[in-house]
Amino acid sequence: MFWADEVFSKGKEKEVLEDAWTPSGIVHMGGLKGPVIHDVLYKVLKGQKREAKYIFGFDDFDPIDGLPVNFQDKFGQYMGIPTFMVPSPDGKGTFADFYGNKMREMFKKLNVEAEIYLASVNYKKGVYNEGIRIMLDNVIKVRNVYEDMYKHQVKNDWYPLQIICSKCTKLGTTKVTDWDGKEVTFTCLPNLVKWAQGCGTTGKISPFDGNAKMPWKPEWSVKWYTFKVTTEWSGKDHMSAGGSFEVAANILKNVFHQEPPMARGYEFFLWTGKKMSSSKGLGLTAEELLEVLPPQIARFLMIRTEPNKAVEFNPVGTDIIPKLYDDYQKAANAYFEKGDEELARAFELSQIGKLQKVPAIRFSVLSQWVQMPNMKEQIKKEGFEDWTKYAKVWVEKYAPDSEKFAIQKELPDAAKELTGKQKELLQRIALELNLVKNAESFQTQIYELGKTLELNGKETFAAIYKILLGKDHGPKAAWLILSLDKEFVKKRFEEASK
């Protein structure tokens, strides 16, 4: 049975799935895994005719605590200010909108059916007011959770809340030190964090209706409490012993007297054995991923392997992408031909809209075709146009040099390596060109001509590749030859066989 179909064998009457992300930087391809996993779980529930809801939070109330190098001069003044209060780099909306819109576009392309909510809107509307009040009224219990888990004393003036400073509008630099049941006392500290400087303001203010924000671990428990979340998975780093999930779960149990949602940790994508990291330049952005993969295959990549298993995905100079296309085609065949049930289910849950058959040709072959002149009509005739743009991107950005080729305008130096028998072969092929009817039979004919000259297959086809590509290897020779102007081929073969 496919892993996602096993999750809710014993479920609640209504399932509420939740996930969240902070819109303050590029959408990394690894950042799509959580949204897609939850979407698949949601679709499984819908398929079971269960009552289910999938909500996804854009945590736009989080303060800016780091910036890309190219933004540091222009946006350095906004460090510590919530992203929903910072102007957008493109002048349209907010800083959070700028990145949030990119994720919305990813959701649309990948058919992630989540109800998106903005943290800033929920705070302003008072959605979390009850949770904030309960948290503040029971602050000793919250402190006890941290003390029990981390084995160190929490100060009596620590509260799980930060205020938007009434003077400098920074959030990340403020500290709440008291709660009187109506208002909190706060100070905007100059040296609370290294990445932003507070203004020194001290005051009292209501913590409700968007004036304040909880740290994300206590906030996580409040969201579970408020939305009655039943399922939320997260990266394995959050699920480790003593990690973020355990803190939030203990707060939920000890302060709100509820059980935490069903949760599992999912593994990361690896880049040559290392965890992908946008800050370290390891991995692809979501946009780069969807340049080389159709959305269906991107979904397939996210879900075909059980979430608790790491997946290596460094496409640079490797055959990982062609192999992924091959696996997707195998899954499609399993679905349409009633084959391997798990593969078929992975294919089914990867689809967007109506189920469609996939091209029969292998991606590696298509990537050769897109490099051949005059193959556009053949590609169209075979119905492979949908994958063509992805094959071009793979060749241009990721393919090993061995998979790249170009027709040489002049006779390559490699032609000097031809033997007498190889030159004779080229002469015979040139004589047959006008009689060729199709590539398949022509490929066999070339091989047979080589045999009559006592050339093995490698020697036969290397002669063609050397004079056309300057290499000893390449795509299927017959298709390559027929993709070119016949007079050009004749002239080149005659020149090389002298």
Per-residue pLDDT tens digits for 357-397:
899 899 999 999 999 988 988 898 888 889 999 999 999 99
- pLDDT of 278 above 80: no
Average pLDDT, integer, range 34-47: 97
- Which residues are within 8 A (CB) of 270 and not within 5 positions of it... i.e. 6 or more apart? 276, 310, 311, 312, 313, 314
**Tokens read off for 278:** 């946008």
Which H or E element spans position 204?
strand 202-205
pLDDT given at position 482: 93
Task: Please state which CATH number belongs to domain 270-402.
Answer: 1.10.10.770
Residues carrying CATH 3.40.50.620, the chain? 3-130+217-266
pLDDT 10s digits, 317-329: 999 999 999 999 9
Which amino acid appears at position 47 of this protein?
Answer: G
pLDDT given at position 279: 67
Q: In the chain, how long is the greatest CA-to-CA distance?
A: 98
pLDDT 10s digits, 219-268: 999 999 999 999 999 999 999 888 999 999 999 999 999 999 999 999 99
pLDDT given at position 13: 82
Q: How many CB atoms lie within 10 A of CB 192?
A: 17
Domain 3-130+217-266, second-level architecture: 3-Layer(aba) Sandwich (3.40)
Residues carrying CATH 1.10.10.770, the chain? 270-402
- pLDDT of 314 above 80: yes
Q: How many CB atoms lie within 10 A of CB 62?
A: 21
Alpha-helical runs (H) found in 213-340: 216-227, 236-239, 244-255, 286-292, 295-303, 320-336
- Which residues are within 8 A (CB) of 407 and not within 5 positions of it... i.e. 6 or more apart? 373, 468, 469, 484
- pLDDT of 11 above 80: no
Question: Cα separation of 427 and 54, whole Å?
Answer: 67
Q: Which of 398, 403, 401, 415 is nearest to 462 (CA)?
A: 415
pLDDT given at position 47: 94
Question: Cα separation of 26 and 39, whole Å?
Answer: 21
Please name the residue that has the structure tokens 């330049």: 281
Share of the chain above pLDDT 90, in %: 88
In Å, how far from its chain's centre is CA 167? 39
**Tokens read off for 312:** 């290596």
pLDDT given at position 15: 96
| 144: confidence class by pLDDT, cuts 50, 70, 90 | very high
pLDDT given at position 356: 81
Q: Which of 107, 65, 106 is nearest to 86 (CA)?
A: 65
In Å, how far from its chain's centre is CA 488? 44
**CA-derived radius of gyration, the chain:** 30
Question: Cα separation of 324 and 76, whole Å?
Answer: 41
Q: How many CB atoms lie within 10 A of CB 28?
A: 20
Q: Identify any residues that bridge with 271 across adjacent strands, giving them in sequence order.
A: 274
Average pLDDT, integer, range 104-124: 98
Task: Give the least confident one: 7-11, 143-147, 173-177, 424-428.
Answer: 7-11
pLDDT given at position 242: 87
pLDDT given at position 498: 85
**Tokens read off for 194:** 């290294």
Share of the chain above pLDDT 70, in %: 100
Q: What is the DSSP letter of 87?
A: B
- Using an 8 Å Cβ cutoff, are 369 and 380 in contact? no
pLDDT given at position 377: 85
pLDDT given at position 131: 98
Backbone angles phi, psi at 488, to 5 degrees: -65, -45
- Which residues are within 8 A (CB) of 120 and not within 5 positions of it... i.e. 6 or more apart? 60, 61, 82, 84, 96, 210
- Using an 8 Å Cβ cutoff, are 317 and 304 in contact? no
Task: Please state which CATH number belongs to domain 406-496.
Answer: 1.10.10.350
pLDDT 10s digits, 205-217: 999 999 999 999 9
pTM of the model: 0.92
Report how far apart, in Å, the C-alpha atoms of 22 and of each of 25, 103, 209, 362, 467 are: 8, 10, 20, 38, 55
Four-CA torsion 382, 386, 389, 393, nearest 10 degrees: -100
Question: Cα separation of 189 and 194, whole Å?
Answer: 11
Per DSSP, the residues of 170-193 read -STTEEEEEE-SS-EEEEE-TTSS
**Tokens read off for 181:** 């049941």
The pLDDT mean for the chain works out to 95
Question: Cα separation of 183 and 209, whole Å?
Answer: 12
Question: Cα separation of 168 and 201, whole Å?
Answer: 9
Burial class (CB in 10 A: 0-12, 13-18, 19+), 201: middle
pLDDT given at position 355: 86
SS3 311: strand
**Tokens read off for 335:** 């679905």
